[in-house]
C-alpha cells in the first residue's frame, strides 16, 4: 500500500503517535515531500457553480459547462467532464433523485461531506474492495467505539444523509459497497470525519472536502514541520488537479517524523486541545502544548511597556498574581482583561456568524470595529486570542466592502489592520508558513493599490515593518507616495520568499507566488518611473 510515497520516506509505528511517516533523508525547507491526488473530493455547495467539479479550477459561470441532467455539476470543458463522468454518472442519478424527492423546489444539494463520502463508496464499488486504494481507505483510523457525545450529532447526520442520498434501503444495497452492517457504515463515516481534508484554492480559501489515505498517515503537531497545500501549479485541464502537496516548512532531519497541524495553530492551547479531543480523540503533547514559557496567544503586554509579556490564566477562576515575565511587574487589572477577553470571544463568534448572512455584513463590521479597541486598550498584544481572530475578520470585512470610489481613509484603515494581522501572525507562526506568507502578500498588495488621495511625501511618515508596528507608529501609517511603493515592494519580496517555502520552491510558490513575482517586477518599473519623475521635476526647477 501507499505506493505514492517516495523512497525517501517510510511508514512506521510509534508508541507515542501510532502510525506515521518518517523521513530517511534530510529535507530542506520549501521542498515538496510528495504529491498525491485525493482518493475522492467534492466541492462545497457555494463553489459548485463557480468551480469545475473535476479539477476545482475557478472560472466564469458563463464559461463553465453545466451537466444537463442534474444541472448541479459544472466543468471547464469536455475533457474535465469526461474525466469525471465515471463517478459523476452515479452522482448525477443520486442528485436527480434527491431533488425529485424534495418537498421544496429550493432545496440545496447534499453537503460536500455527504457527496465526498458517497464518491468514496462509489469508487470502492467500481474498483472492488480488494484494490490497494480500497484497503488504504479501510486502513484509516476509526473512532466509532470511542465517540464523544459531542460527535454523535455529526455522525448521525452524515449516516442518515448518506443512506438517503445513495438510496441504501436494504442490506443488499449496502453489501455492494462492502458494508455488511450499520456498524460498518458508522465505521466508514468515522473514518471520513477523522481523516477528511479541506480542499482550498491557492489562497487557502476553502473549496470543499477531500479524502487521501496517504496524507492521512501524517500525524499532528501544533508546531508542524510540514503543511498540506493545493498550490495549483499547472493551469492545464489535463493535469490531475486538485493535487495535494506535502511541503516542508522547516529543515527536517533524517529519522524525524513528518508532522502537520490538523487545526488552527493560532488558537490558545485549551481551544486546540478541545478541538483535537472532540474531532480526533487524542490529547496533543507537542512542544507548543507542553511549553512552560509565555504563550503569545494568552498574554498581556507589560503595563510598564518593557517589551515583556504577562501570562494570563485560561479562565476567570481564582488565579495567582499575573506578572511580567521580563521585568516581574504585577498586573493589577487582570479581572478587567479577562472580562474583555470573554466579551471579545462572544463578539468574534457573533461577528463570524453574521458574516455568513448577506444582510448583515455591516453589522459584523461594526462589531469588530468596536471590539478591537476594547481588547487593545486592555493590554492584549496583536498575537493574543481573540484579538488576532477579530483583526483577521476585520481585515476581511474591510477588503470585501471596498466602496467605489474608494476613500483614502478606508484603504489606509485596511492597511493598518493588515499590518496588525501580520504582526500577530509573525509572533505565532514559523517563517514560511503559508498563512503568514499569504497575510504578507495581502499587505503588500494593499500597499501597492493606487492612492485615491495621495499625500505629500513626509519625512516623518515611517516605513513600519510588521514587527515594529505599535499603536503610536500606526497613527501616521501607512506612508504616502514613493515610501509607500517602496514598502509595498519590500513586503512583497519578503512574501515571495515565504511563498517559496510554504507552497514549494519547485512550484515557484504556487499560483500566488507567480502572481507576486509579476507584481514585484511591475513595482520595480513603477518605482523607477516615480524616481525619474522626481529627478525631472528637480532638474526643471533648477533650470527655472
**Spatial contact of 59 and 76, defined as CB atoms under 8 Å apart:** yes
More confident residue, 351 or 210: 210
In this structure, the number of other CB atoms found within 10 A of the CB of residue 64 comes to 21
More confident residue, 59 or 286: 286
- What mean pLDDT, rounded, does the chain reach? 89
Residue 10 phi, psi dihedral angles, 5° rounding: -150, 140
HEC sequence for 141-204: CCCHHHCCHHHHHHHHHHHHHHHHHHCCCCHHHHHCCCCCCHHHHHHHHHHHHHHEEEEECCCC
Q: Which SS3 state, helix, strand or coil, does residue 42 take?
A: strand
320-375: pLDDT as tens digits: 788 999 999 999 888 899 999 999 999 999 888 876 655 567 888 999 999 999 99
- Could you give the CA distance from residue 439 to residue 445 in angstroms, rounded to a whole number? 10
More confident residue, 394 or 474: 394
- Could you give the CA distance from residue 202 to residue 20 in angstroms, rounded to a whole number? 27
DSSP secondary structure letter of residue 105: T
Which range has the top average pLDDT, 235-239, 319-323, 455-459, 510-514? 510-514
Inside any domain, residue 370: no
| Max CA pair span of the chain | 95
> What are the grid coordinates assigned to 236, written together?
492545464
- Could you give the CA distance from residue 180 to residue 442 in angstroms, rounded to a whole number? 51
330, 335, 336, 337 alpha-carbon torsion, rounded to 10°: 70
Q: Is the pLDDT of residue 465 over 70?
A: no
Q: Is the pLDDT of residue 434 over 60?
A: yes
Inside any domain, residue 240: no
More confident residue, 293 or 460: 293
* pLDDT score, position 460: 47
pTM across the whole model? 0.91
The burial class, CB within 10 Å (0-12 / 13-18 / 19+), for 30 is buried
More confident residue, 315 or 479: 479
**Spatial contact of 332 and 373, defined as CB atoms under 8 Å apart:** no
DSSP secondary structure letter of residue 468: G
Inside any domain, residue 110: yes
* pLDDT score, position 456: 61
* pLDDT score, position 422: 97
* pLDDT score, position 5: 94
Inside any domain, residue 328: no
The domain boundary residue, chosen from 211, 236, 261? 211
Q: Is the pLDDT of residue 167 over 70?
A: yes
How many distinct structural domains can be found in the chain?
2
Inside any domain, residue 256: no
Q: Is the pLDDT of residue 459 over 50?
A: no
Inside any domain, residue 345: no
Query: Pairing relation of β-strands 219-220 and 259-260?
Result: parallel
The domain boundary residue, chosen from 211, 245, 265? 211
**Spatial contact of 220 and 276, defined as CB atoms under 8 Å apart:** yes
Q: Is the pLDDT of residue 534 over 90?
A: no
The burial class, CB within 10 Å (0-12 / 13-18 / 19+), for 141 is middle
Inside any domain, residue 115: yes
Q: Is the pLDDT of residue 65 over 70?
A: yes
Which of 199-208, 354-363, 393-402, 529-538 shows the lowest mean pLDDT across its residues?
354-363
More confident residue, 151 or 193: 193
34-46: pLDDT as tens digits: 999 999 999 999 9
Reported confidence tier of residue 463, pLDDT bands at 50, 70, 90: low
* pLDDT score, position 356: 63
Domain that holds residue 524: 435-544
* pLDDT score, position 108: 87
Reported confidence tier of residue 83, pLDDT bands at 50, 70, 90: very high
Q: Is the pLDDT of residue 507 over 80?
A: yes
* pLDDT score, position 17: 83
User: Across residues 217-245, what is the average pLDDT?
Assistant: 88
Percent of the chain whose predicted confidence (pLDDT) is above 70: 93
> What are the grid coordinates assigned to 17, written together?
503517535
268-285: pLDDT as tens digits: 999 999 999 988 888 999
- Could you give the CA distance from residue 4 to residue 155 in angstroms, rounded to a whole number? 30
User: Across residues 232-261, what is the average pLDDT?
Assistant: 89
Which range has the top average pLDDT, 77-86, 174-183, 307-316? 77-86
How distant, in Å, are the alpha carbons of 56, 185, 372 from that of 214?
Answer: 21, 21, 42
115-152: pLDDT as tens digits: 999 999 999 999 888 888 889 998 998 887 777 777 78
**Spatial contact of 238 and 198, defined as CB atoms under 8 Å apart:** no
Inside any domain, residue 14: no
CA 55, 56, 60, 62 torsion: positive or negative? positive
The domain boundary residue, chosen from 153, 183, 211? 211
* pLDDT score, position 316: 56
Amino acid at each position: 500500500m501507499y505506493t505514492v510515497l517516495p523512497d525517501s520516506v517510510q511508514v512506521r509505528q510509534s508508541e507515542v503517535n501510532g502510525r506515521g511517516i518518517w523521513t530517511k533523508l534530510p529535507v530542506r525547507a520549501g521542498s515538496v515531500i510528495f504529491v498525491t491526488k485525493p482518493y475522492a473530493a467534492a466541492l462545497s455547495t457555494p463553489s459548485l457553480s463557480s468551480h469545475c467539479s473535476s479539477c476545482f479550477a475557478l472560472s466564469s459561470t458563463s464559461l463553465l459547462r453545466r451537466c444537463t441532467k442534474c444541472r448541479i455539476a459544472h466543468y471547464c470543458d469536455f475533457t474535465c467532464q469526461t474525466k469525471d463522468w465515471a463517478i459523476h454518472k452515479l452522482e448525477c442519478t443520486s442528485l436527480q433523485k434527491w431533488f425529485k424527492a424534495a418537498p421544496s423546489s429550493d432545496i440545496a444539494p447534499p453537503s460536500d461531506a455527504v457527496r465526498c463520502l458517497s464518491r468514496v463508496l462509489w469508487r470502492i464499488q467500481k474498483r472492488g474492495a480488494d484494490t490497494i486504494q480500497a484497503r488504504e481507505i479501510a486502513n484509516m483510523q476509526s473512532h466509532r467505539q470511542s465517540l464523544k457525545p459531542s460527535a454523535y450529532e455529526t455522525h448521525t447526520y452524515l449516516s442518515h444523509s448518506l443512506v438517503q442520498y445513495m438510496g441504501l434501503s436494504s442490506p443488499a444495497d449496502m453489501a455492494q459497497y462492502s458494508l455488511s452492517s450499520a456498524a460498518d457504515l458508522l465505521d466508514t463515516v468515522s473514518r471520513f470525519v477523522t481523516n477528511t481534508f479541506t480542499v482550498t484554492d491557492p489562497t487557502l480559501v476553502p473549496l470543499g472536502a477531500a479524502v487521501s489515505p496517504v496524507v492521512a498517515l501524517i500525524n499532528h503537531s501544533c508546531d508542524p514541520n510540514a503543511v498540506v497545500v493545493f498550490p495549483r501549479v499547472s493551469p492545464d485541464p489535463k493535469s490531475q488537479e486538485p493535487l495535494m502537496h506535502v511541503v516542508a516548512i522547516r529543515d527536517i532531519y533524517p529519522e524525524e517524523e513528518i508532522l502537520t497541524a490538523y487545526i488552527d495553530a493560532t488558537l490558545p492551547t485549551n481551544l486546540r486541545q478541545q478541538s483535537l479531543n472532540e474531532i480526533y480523540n487524542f490529547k496533543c503533547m507537542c512542544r507548543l502544548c507542553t511549553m512552560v514559557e509565555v504563550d503569545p496567544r494568552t498574554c498581556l503586554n507589560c503595563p510598564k511597556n518593557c517589551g515583556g509579556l504577562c501570562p494570563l490564566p485560561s479562565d476567570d477562576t481564582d488565579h495567582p498574581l499575573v506578572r511580567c515575565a521580563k521585568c516581574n511587574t504585577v498586573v493589577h487589572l487582570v479581572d478587567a482583561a479577562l472580562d474583555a477577553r470573554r466579551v471579545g470571544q462572544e463578539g468574534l463568534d457573533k461577528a463570524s456568524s453574521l458574516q455568513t448572512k448577506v444582510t448583515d455584513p455591516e453589522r459584523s463590521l461594526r462589531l469588530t470595529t468596536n471590539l478591537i479597541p476594547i481588547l487593545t486598550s486592555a493590554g492584549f498584544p496583536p498575537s493574543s486570542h481573540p484579538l488576532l481572530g477579530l483583526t483577521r475578520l476585520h481585515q476581511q470585512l474591510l477588503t470585501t466592502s471596498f466602496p467605489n470610489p474608494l476613500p483614502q481613509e478606508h484603504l489606509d484603515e485596511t492597511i493598518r489592520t493588515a499590518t496588525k494581522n501580520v504582526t500577530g501572525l509573525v509572533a505565532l507562526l514559523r517563517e514560511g508558513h503559508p498563512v503568514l506568507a499569504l497575510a504578507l502578500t495581502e499587505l503588500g498588495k494593499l500597499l501597492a493599490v493606487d492612492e485615491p488621495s495621495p499625500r505629500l511625501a513626509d519625512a516623518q511618515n515611517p516605513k513600519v515593518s510588521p514587527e515594529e508596528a505599535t499603536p503610536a507608529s500606526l497613527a501616521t501609517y501607512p506612508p504616502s507616495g514613493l515610501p509607500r511603493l517602496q514598502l509595498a515592494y519590500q513586503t512583497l519580496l519578503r512574501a515571495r520568499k515565504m511563498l517559496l517555502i510554504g507552497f514549494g520552491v519547485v512550484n515557484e510558490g504556487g499560483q500566488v507566488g507567480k502572481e507576486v513575482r509579476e507584481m514585484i517586477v511591475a513595482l520595480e518599473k513603477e518605482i523607477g518611473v516615480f524616481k525619474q519623475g522626481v529627478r525631472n521635476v528637480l532638474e526643471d526647477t533648477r533650470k527655472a
